[in-house]
Amino acid sequence: MNTNQSRDELFERHLQGELSDVEKEHVAELLDSDAAARQQFVELAQWDTELGETIREHAEPVYNKDLLPSGKGTIERGGKNTFLLSPFVTFATITVLFILFSSLLYLQRQTFFAPAEKVVLSQTASSSIATITGLKGSLLWTGNQGELVLDIHVGRELTGGTIEGLAPDSWFELQFQDGSIVTISGTSMLTFADVGQKKLRLKQGAFTADVVPQPVGKPMIIQTPSTVIEVVGTRFEVEALQAFTTVNVREGNVRLKHLVDGNAVDIPANYRVIAEAGGDLSPMPLPAAENYWKSQLGVQAGGFGKWLPATKKRPAAQKALPFIPVNNPNVSLSLLSIPVSGRNGPPVVLTPHATFRVRGRLHDSAQVHFGIAVSYGNGEFAGMFRGDLLKKQPVSKIAGQKEFEVIYQLSDFTVDPCVRRKQDSLARTPDGLYLDRLWVFTNMGSSSGLMVHEVELIPGEIR
């Protein structure tokens, strides 16, 4: 059964009142996020009846009239359309009104977007507002009319839309026409528009920006699940999770408003704020960098993979998930990633003789691949490197509890193949750079049962 058939069945069951609460919420989210699904639902529900007029009257800012089908089954009387309403249509009217308002409520609850903000993002400009200046890894672009855009390349001009980084090695850089540059990296999702004022929504992930001075009264707005950030002109980084948002300001000044309680704060250069429910919004100086780091998987780490709490038989772990690269559909990986800098702790700087030690479990012996993403001191993306290409690691043998340990020397790291074409503008070695995140994967063509219990960065040779 293809996607359209699956949606038809789902929508028909909804109109007949057969969906569970969870399925209803799924439909609401689907209609909000997918223009093709909205059109499919519109056609199925016969929006050219009195129901259509009701929805148009109450929902014009959200749904595009161009998606509505031409009139069918109407009877002209005295120049006006009248309709024969069956009990099913009456029920459908109530049902669709319910799903419409459920969709709006779901949107506000999940993303904290007020309806006015939603309208701005849906009314993107028809002319180009930005140009792709860099992209690597697995990315998915959805245009501002809901169409899936496969032809994304450096130099392409965009009118707005949503870009998703699908893997830990994903990276995307966008330059607005005024010279402002924004970047997402890793597993991230960013929606942007510019209708006289730049408005962006970072649903999740890591985001950096170098924003030129904006017009008076029209700052750049970045919305995360928990905050609204106003930027007049500055250099900063944002990490957005559902529970909290971290903002590091390198230059200039950023205003942050917490959506939970409405509190606001100005963040000056070289300060940070971690906005979480019930937390203190007082800016804190950016902490001094450290050279030693150790993963803290006793709490949920974020990144890519499934977090597993500790049990009596094993410590807490990040478990790899199946992953198929967009540009190589014949490859199936078991992949996980763990964020490093940008969290509550201090930034981590790599030293020339640093060593990574990775401990975890496998179902079977396998070669374990390892990569890192780094940034410059000002927060700009600096590149990606692999620790298993120059000096290939031997197959990791599993011990009694199927445990493994593998060591990677920073001196053996080489540029990740996914950024080689842009190497002239990126760092050639990771020495002295900030460690943003790391990823671990196996390439066995099937699940390897890979999970990582601990990653340790040691600023010197292991003796």
Q: Is 368 strand, coil or helix?
A: coil
Q: What is the CATH number of the domain that holds 407?
A: 2.60.120
> What is the extent of the structural domain holding 18?
3-111
Residue 400 has pLDDT above 80, yes or no: no
pLDDT at 4: 57
pLDDT digits (tens, 9 = 90+) for 352-387: 999 999 999 998 888 899 999 998 887 778 889 999
pLDDT at 129: 92
Residue that finishes a domain, picked among 111, 144, 162: 111
Q: What is the CATH number of the domain that holds 279?
A: 2.60.120.1440
Average pLDDT of the chain is 76
**Out of 24-38, 55-69, 230-244, 398-412, least confident range:** 55-69
Higher per-residue confidence, 219 vs 88: 219
| DSSP secondary structure letters along 373-428 | EEE-TTS-EEEEEESSSSSPPPPBPP-TTSEEEEEEEGGG-EE-GGGGGGGGGS-S
The answer to whether 386 and 369 have CB atoms below 8 angstroms apart is yes
Which 3-state string (H, E, C) describes 172-192? Answer: EEEEECCCCEEEEEEEEEEEE
**Out of 7-21, 142-156, 374-388, 433-447, least confident range:** 7-21
CA distance 378 to 381: 9
Map tokens 């994967």 to a residue. Answer: 441
| Residue at 454 is within a domain | yes
Q: Is 125 strand, coil or helix?
A: coil
Q: 281 and 303 share a domain? A: no
The answer to whether 394 and 266 have CB atoms below 8 angstroms apart is no
Q: Is 98 strand, coil or helix?
A: helix
pLDDT at 117: 39
Q: Is 64 strand, coil or helix?
A: coil
Q: Is 114 strand, coil or helix?
A: coil
Q: 105 and 125 share a domain? A: no
| Residue at 463 is within a domain | no
Residue 88 has pLDDT above 50, yes or no: no
Q: Decide the pairing of beta strands 227-231 and 253-258.
A: antiparallel
pLDDT mean over 239-243: 79
Higher per-residue confidence, 125 vs 272: 272
Per-residue pLDDT band at 268 (split at 50, 70, 90): very high
Q: 303 and 414 share a domain? A: yes
pLDDT mean over 387-406: 76
Residue 141 has pLDDT above 60, yes or no: yes
| Residue at 258 is within a domain | yes
| Residue at 193 is within a domain | yes
The answer to whether 151 and 139 have CB atoms below 8 angstroms apart is no
The answer to whether 415 and 384 have CB atoms below 8 angstroms apart is yes
Q: 155 and 236 share a domain? A: yes
Burial class of residue 109 (count of CB atoms within 10 Å of its CB; 0-12, 13-18, 19+): exposed
- Name the nearest CA neighbour of 245 among 236, 233, 232, 234: 236
